[in-house]
Each structure stands twice: as C-alpha cells, then as structure tokens.
Chains A and B, each alone.
Chain A
Amino acid sequence: MTAPVAQVELQERTGDDCISNNGFCPDWIVDNFDRYVDPFFEHIFLTVVSVGIGFAIAFSLALLAHRLRWTMRPISGVTQVLYTVPSIAAFFLLQPYTGRGNLTAIVALVAYTLFILFANIMTGLDNVSGDVKDAGRGMGLTDRQLLWRVELPLALPEILAGLRIATTTTIGLATLAFFAGGGGLGALIEQQLFFKSNVVVAGGLAVLLAAVLDLLILGLQRIAMPWRQAAVA
C-alpha cells in the first residue's frame, strides 16, 4: 500500500473523514436530509399556529381599543411587558401551568407576537384619514359598516406589515421552542451544535422559511396596496 496515495484519496468530501474533520459535507447532508423534514414541518406548525392565534387576539384587542380609547394604554402596556420578557424565560415560567411540549411553546410565542400585531393594527386604523370617515358617515354608514368597509381595508397594508414582522420573528423564536419541549428546527441544531453541516442545514432551513413567508406576505401587501411601494416595516 502506498501510504501517501491512500491519504490523498481520503481527503475527498465524502465518508467519515469529512465528518471527523468537521467540514461541510454535501454527502452527509443528502444522506441525512430526512432527519430535517419532520422538524421543518413542526417548525411551520408552531409558527403558523402561534401567529394565527396571536393575530386573532391582537385583532380583537385592537377593535376593542379602537372603540374604547381608554383601554389602549393598558393593553399596550401589557403587550409590551409580554414582549419584553424573553421567550426562553417564559417557557420555564409557564411550565408549572402548561407543562412541557407544544402548548408551552405556543403560549409563549403568541404572547411575543401580541405587541407588534396590536401596535400595527392600531396604527393602521388610526391612520385612516378623518375626511374619509366623515365621507363614510355622510353616506349613512353605521359604525360597524364604517369599520369593516372603510377603516379596515385602508388599514390593511399596515396590518400586513405587522403580520410580516410577527411571522419572521416567530420563526426565529421557534428555533428555541425545544427548550419548552416543543420540537422544531432548534432541536436539531442543538443536538449537533458544533457540526458544521448540521448547523448550516438546520439554520439555513429556518432562514429560508422566514424569507419565503416574508416574501409571501410582502406580495400580499403589494396586492393590497398597488398604488405605492410597501412602507418601511
């Protein structure tokens, strides 16, 4: 056996040496890709459910605050506190009540989205020009018709901007959901923290997911507001 030749052969990006040298190993990635599929869908599930519930709550709160002005400050205060408490801390503070698993993760993620969604929906509704509302009232619209047919459609771009921000930040946070027992791509990252191929794939999938959803909602924003560019988020 000519030892130098054998050594040269073993430097390829395949096989165990690539892994033991902790390089970026496309072969390993292809072989092990099915490990990433389930967590990927778990991740999507966590994100969509959390943002969905958060939006439902924030929307109701915003309608309430829009009608009863005095509730806006307290609601804003509460959502800001919920936003400030780091999600990791929230996972463990919730544990005595919600245990380990998806529920804890979802509750914490929902709490995190409330602030940005509430703030953006409120801003959108408040930025509807008084003249337009006057015109609506002059046409005989009731308050409810005014809200659903005039104010909300005009507020839609701002609302979608908030939805975009909430979605991308939730995807980022959902990588930490495994601390609460909730699965997701973060669990995979943490399992093999120092292995480059693993980190790049898992992290890359998360970023890809965020980018795709971000662009989807951005597209919705452009459709809802074709007469000008999407505003600075």
Chain B
Amino acid sequence: MSLPVAFLGPFGDAIDFILYERESVSGGVQIGGPGEILELTGTHILVSAVALGAAIVIFLPLGLYLGHRNQGEFLAVSVSNVGRAVPSLALLAFFLAYLGIGFVNVATVLFLLAIPPILTNTFVGVRQVDRDTVDAARGLGMTASQIIRRVELPLALPIIFAGLRLSTVAVLATATIAPLANVLTLGVPITEPQTYGDDGQRAAAMVVAVVTLGADLVLRLIERAITPKGLRLTDRSDLPQRRRLSPIFLRRNRPA
C-alpha cells in the first residue's frame, strides 16, 4: 500500500480501502477503491435526495399553511411524537415484508421518516413568529400568501432549517441500512463484512459520517445565504430556543 497512512492504524487501513481497489476477503471480486465508493455514495445521496425532496415539497408548504392558520396543531405535533417512536429498521423491515424490495420502497420509507421534523418544525416556527409583527403586516394590507412569504417564512427560517437538518441527517443515516432492501448505498460494506472486511466497514462508516456532516454544513450555509440581512444581524440561534427572538420582545411587558 503506497500511501503512508499506516500510522493511523485501523483508520489508515480504512482510508486505504477508499483509495485502492483490492480483492475481497472471500476472494474473487474486486472491491474498494474510489470508483466503487463513489458509486455507492451516489446511490446513497440519490435515494436520500429523492425522499427529502418529496417530503420538503409536500410538507414544508403544508406546515407554513397550517402554522399561518393556526390549525392542525395536534396533527403537526403528533406526527413527530409518533414518528420518533417508530424505529427506522422496523419501518424498513415492515415495508420489505409487505411490499418487497427496491428503490421506490426504500425511498418511501425514507420519505416517511423525513416528514415529522419538517412538518413539526415548520409549524412551530411559524407559530412562534411574533403576533404583533403579523398584525402589522396585515395592517399594511398584505394578503395571506404575502404574509407567509415575506414575514412568517423569513422569521421562522432558523427553526425550519433546524427541522430540515434533522430530516436530512435522519434520512442519510437510515439510507445506510438500505442494502437490506437491495438498494446499494454506502451500507453495502457495512452489511456485508464477509466480503468487504473490517476495513471496508470502517471505510464506509467514515464516508457516511463525512457525507452527513457535509450535508449538515451545506444546509447551514444555505440558511445563512438565504436569511435576509436584517434578520442575520439579530441572529441569536446559538442561544436556546426561546431567546432566539430579539431582546426587545422579551423585555416588554407582554400578556402571557
């Protein structure tokens, strides 16, 4: 092995797995190397993106609408309470047993897993926008869709993006067990150690971790990019949730 990563021990071996093809543990098949890793990563990201995209397109606007109308709170909150209680493996296995294997089935499971954080966070984010601000917008003559688009959505962005990040991380993590349904994501070396060996397992785990952290980072950058400048200056999202509003709103005497 030509790369001097031996000092990293088992992680060096794993990096080696990523960089160089080699014969499999059981012999006969070529495994490892950047080609295969990229292919697995590509499928991983693809199935995750399809599921996330569908969930966002359907449930983000729904959350905005329900939050604006202050309807469906029970639904928006329960979907998260119920969704948290269902283990991803059990959901996947359930779909496998009753609907079989394949890309569409896995994407559906991931889609279902992605919904709760998006719906709940969007709803809660819109609800916690200061009512006076919304009233002022109404007083200016804005229509409902203008209020949602120009007032509630920007002010709810931190919480909405927190939900998007939660969803993305959950979906990317669950896509790792997709090989159980014959969808060949980065979970392949993890679920087939007899072919890929410990190095392969470790390498796949490293790539999964990097991809997930990368997606989280990308979402944070996107959030920063699309937050209106005025809101960005008062951004206090590093503080615990309820302090996130500007201090002005917290110091006035406000009815409960």
Contact = CB atoms under 8 A, between A and B. Distances in A.
Interface of A: 22, 72-73, 76, 81, 83-93, 95-96, 119, 122-123, 126-127, 165, 168-169, 171-176, 179, 185-186, 189-190, 193-196, 199-200, 202-203, 206-207, 210-211, 214, 232-233
A190 B240 contact: no
Nearest to B11: A96
Nearest to B187: A88
B41 to A, nearest CB: 13
Q: Residue among A92, A122, A207, A214 with the most chain B CB within 10 A?
A: A92
B190 A81 contact: no
B239 A126 contact: yes
26 contacts: A81-B213, A85-B209, A85-B212, A86-B208, A88-B176, A90-B205, A92-B190, A92-B205, A93-B202, A95-B198, A95-B202, A122-B240, A165-B84, A179-B190, A189-B90, A189-B93, A193-B97, A194-B97, A199-B97, A202-B93, A203-B93, A206-B90, A207-B90, A211-B85, A214-B81, A233-B81
Nearest to A196: B97
B94 interface: yes
Contact of A207 (B80, B87, B98): B87
Query: Mostly helix, strand, loop or mixed at chain A's interface?
Result: helix
Given A190-B89, A210-B85, A73 B238 contact: yes
A76 B237 CA distance: 11
B176 A203 contact: no
Interface in B58-95: 73, 77, 80-81, 84-91, 93-94
B208 A88 contact: yes
A199 B241 contact: no
A88 B179 CA distance: 13
Contacts of B84: 165, 168-169, 172, 210
A85 B97 contact: no
B4 interface: no
B245 interface: no
A172 B73 CA distance: 24
- 5 smallest A-B Cβ distances: which pairs? A203-B90, A86-B173, A210-B85, A123-B240, A92-B205
A203 B94 contact: yes
A86 B212 contact: yes
B242 interface: yes
A208 to B, nearest CB: 9
Given A196-B97, A203-B90, A176 B85 contact: no
A176 B177 CA distance: 9
Q: Residue among B190, B202, B209 with the most chain A CB within 10 A?
A: B209
A175 B212 contact: no
Contact of A86 (B87, B124, B172): B172
Contacts of A233: 77, 80-81
Given A76-B238, A96-B9, A172 B97 contact: no
A163 to B, nearest CB: 13
Given A84-B216, A96-B11, A196-B97, 13 more contacts: A85-B213, A86-B169, A86-B208, A89-B206, A90-B205, A93-B205, A95-B10, A96-B202, A168-B84, A174-B87, A193-B93, A193-B97, A214-B81
B198 to A, nearest CB: 8
Contacts of B201: 92
B38 interface: no
A92 B177 contact: no
Q: Residue among A86, A126, A232 with the most chain B CB within 10 A?
A: A86
B124 to A, nearest CB: 6
A207 B241 contact: no
A73 B87 CA distance: 31
B129 interface: no
Given A92-B201, A195-B97, A233-B81, A87 B87 contact: no
B137 interface: no
Nearest to B73: A232
A211 B90 CA distance: 15
Contacts of B242: 123, 126-127
